Amino acid sequence: MAEGWRNLRNSIRQKTRASEIDRNVGPIAVPQDYAPAHSFSHGVTDKIERTNPTGRNQFVTSENLRQVIQQSDFMEALTTLQDISFSQIQQFMISEHYCQIGESDKALRCIEALQTTMTSYPRPNVDDVIKLVETFITDSFHIRALILLSCCPKLYKLESNPDKSVVGIRYSSLQCGIIITSLVKKGGGMKKIATIVGLKIITDMLREFQSVSTADKNEKAVNEAGCLNNVGLSHRVIGEYEQAIGFYSEGIYLLKQRFGSNAPKYRVLSDLLNNMGLVYHNLGDYFKAESLYIKSLNMRETSEDWFSDKVKHECIKGTKVNLASTRDRILYLDLIGKCNNVIELIGKDISLLKQTNLSNSRMFGDLLFNLASSHHSLDDYSNAESFYLKSLDVYEKAKDWPNENEKRESIERVKNNLKFIRSKLKN
C-alpha cells in the first residue's frame, strides 16, 4: 500500500500546477493516478481491483471522469464517482469535490470514511502520506493536502513508538495551520472551507494527540503545547480571537503546570506568548499586547531547545517587530489624545479672542494654525484645510506683525501645508 502512495506522489509531481480556485482539479484526475492502470502494478491499483472485480473494465468511466473534472463540473463528477465502487482514492476525490461545491458537511462525512479506510489493513506508511501532503502544499493544492493530512494523526497513533506519534501529530497540526492560513488568504469559498472543514480537522488532531497515553510525559507536554499553539493560530487567522486566546492560554498553563519555573526553557512558551500578543493587538488592547511581547522576547533569549541559532534570531527579530508595531500604536493613540485636548483648549481660546478686538491679530492666526495642525495630525484633512484657510486669511489681514519677513514665512508655511492637505483630499 505504501508503494501505491509513493507512485501517486511521484505522478502528481510531474503534472503542471494549477490554481486551486475554479479550475484546480484537472491534474489530479488522470486515469493512471486515480483509476486502475498499468502504472500502478501494486499498491493502490491492487487494492481497487480486489475491492471491485470489474476494476479492470473501468477505463472508459475513469477517462470520462477525467474529462468532467478538467471542466470543473464537480456535480457531474460526484454522480459518476458515487456509481463506482469506493477505494481510498475515490473517497479522496469525492471529499475534495464536496469541498469545491461548498458541501462542507458532506465533505466531512466523506473525510471520516476516508480516515477509516486509510487506517484499515493494508494501510499506507504515514511517512509516505506526509510526503504527499507536502507535495500538495508546495503545488498549492491546499484542499487535497487538508483532506489527506486529516488521516495522518490516526496513522501516527498506530505507530509502535508513542513518542514518535506525538511528534508526528504536532507536525500534522503545524501543516494544517499552514493550509488554513493559505485558504483564508484566498478568501471567498476557500475561507469557508478553512473555517468549517479546516478548524474541524485541526481540532480533531488535538483530540487525537490528547488520547495518546503512553508517551514520555515531558515530551508529550511540550508537543501538546505546540499543538495548542497551532490550533490557536488557526482560529486567529480566521478572526476567532477569543477562541485563539483560549487555546494559547491552555498551552501556557500546561507548560507551567508541567515544568514550573523551568517552563521558559522551552521555546514553545515564547511562541504562545508572542502569538497571544498578536491577538490582543488585533483586538486593540495594545498595552496587553506590549506586555506579552516583552515576556516572549525575554524567554526567546533564554530558551534552550532552538533548532538553530538562525531560527532563534529570526524569531527574536519577529517579536521585536511586533513590539515596535504595538508601541507605535500606543504612541499614536497618545498623540490622538493629546491632539484632542489641544483642539478642545484652542477652541476655548478662540471663543475668548472672538469676544475681544484680537480676532484679526497674528495671535488669532496662530491659534487657527495650531488647530489646523492638530486636525492634520489626526488625518482629519477636511477640518485641517478649513482651519488652514482661516489662519491664512487672518495672517494676511493682521496688522501686528513685527516685520514683513516673519509675516511672509508664516503665510508660506500655511500655503505649503494646504498644498499637502489638498493632495491628500484628492486621493
User: pLDDT category, 233, cuts 50, 70, 90?
Assistant: very high
pLDDT score recorded for residue 338: 75
In percent, how much of the chain has pLDDT > 70? 79
Which of these, 183, 289, 173, 192, lies nearest to 233 by C-alpha position?
173
**Residue 406 lies inside a defined structural domain of this protein:** yes
Structural domain total, the chain: 1
**Residue 374 lies inside a defined structural domain of this protein:** yes
User: pLDDT category, 339, cuts 50, 70, 90?
Assistant: low
Which domain range does residue 403 map to? 356-426
**Residue 24 lies inside a defined structural domain of this protein:** no
Distance CA 223, CA 104 (A): 29
Residue with the three cell numbers 489493513: 121
What CATH number does the domain containing 368 carry? 1.20.58
- Mean pLDDT (whole number) for 333-352: 75
- Which triple of cell numbers denotes residue 227? 499543538
**Residue 419 lies inside a defined structural domain of this protein:** yes
**Residue 403 lies inside a defined structural domain of this protein:** yes
Q: What tens digit of pLDDT does each residue of 119-143 get? A: 888 888 899 889 989 999 999 999 9
pLDDT score recorded for residue 186: 93
Judge whether residue 58 has pLDDT over 60.
no
pLDDT score recorded for residue 64: 55
- State the CB neighbour count (10 A cutoff) for residue 204: 18
Residue 257 or residue 58, greater confidence: 257
**Residue 143 lies inside a defined structural domain of this protein:** no
**Residue 397 lies inside a defined structural domain of this protein:** yes
**Residue 237 lies inside a defined structural domain of this protein:** no
- Whole-model pTM? 0.68
